[in-house]
Structure 1
Amino acid sequence: MFAEQLDILQFCLNQQEKEEIKDGILIKRVEKLPCKPSSSITAIGYNQLEHILYVQWHTGTTNRYFNVPPTLWNQLMTTTGSIGKLYHQLIKGNYRGENVDNLI
């Protein structure tokens, strides 16, 4: 597990601080992604070990979604379309979620 966390950290450093790690969660700010600017989502995070997706909203609230596969995380990371639309199509209502303390 420690080696995997080091790999994630090295990846983050190579991305010139475009992302950060907090409590094992890889966090990306939406403005740093190739997607269109979002009017509702400010950041997304992913815990690769537990397959938990985190979505932080402009309102300051954060939701987490359980059992989200890495392939879906990759879709969110690489979309050039609307990340909010992708969230509504693929995540909302399809994965068990709950409110949590702020991600960042």
Structure 2
Amino acid sequence: MKPGIGVNRFGGSAITYWGQGVARKWQKLETDGGKLFDNIVQATARDLLAEAITRIETAGHQIVMHIHDEVAIDEPVDSGITVTDICALMNEVPDWATGLPIDAAGYECDFYQKD
């Protein structure tokens, strides 16, 4: 809230904003390019996942949960759908992300586990 340019703790210029600091009290905070870049990357990854979820559900598959950059799908054993098929849906690059390298990987199991 209320972004601006201010002075950081070292006396240099910094991007500032109002947020919750120590003891959850509102105060003027500062940020830097690294934090901004990280937020942009995470927001882009979230948008890509949201579009992939929509494609997977539109194709008729039941997503039971998603965790960070993963989706868990409950698919009947005899459906003929493979992990490769689902990865292909996830690898479709939206027009707004043309040129962005995307490469989904997956695995099949009877219960959720980390690969």
Q: Could you say which structure has the larger radius of gyration?
A: 2
Query: TM > 0.5 between the two?
Result: no
What is the TM-score when the length of structure 1 is the normalising length? Answer: 0.31
- Between Structure 1 and Structure 2, the one with more helix by share is 2
TM-score (norm 2): 0.29
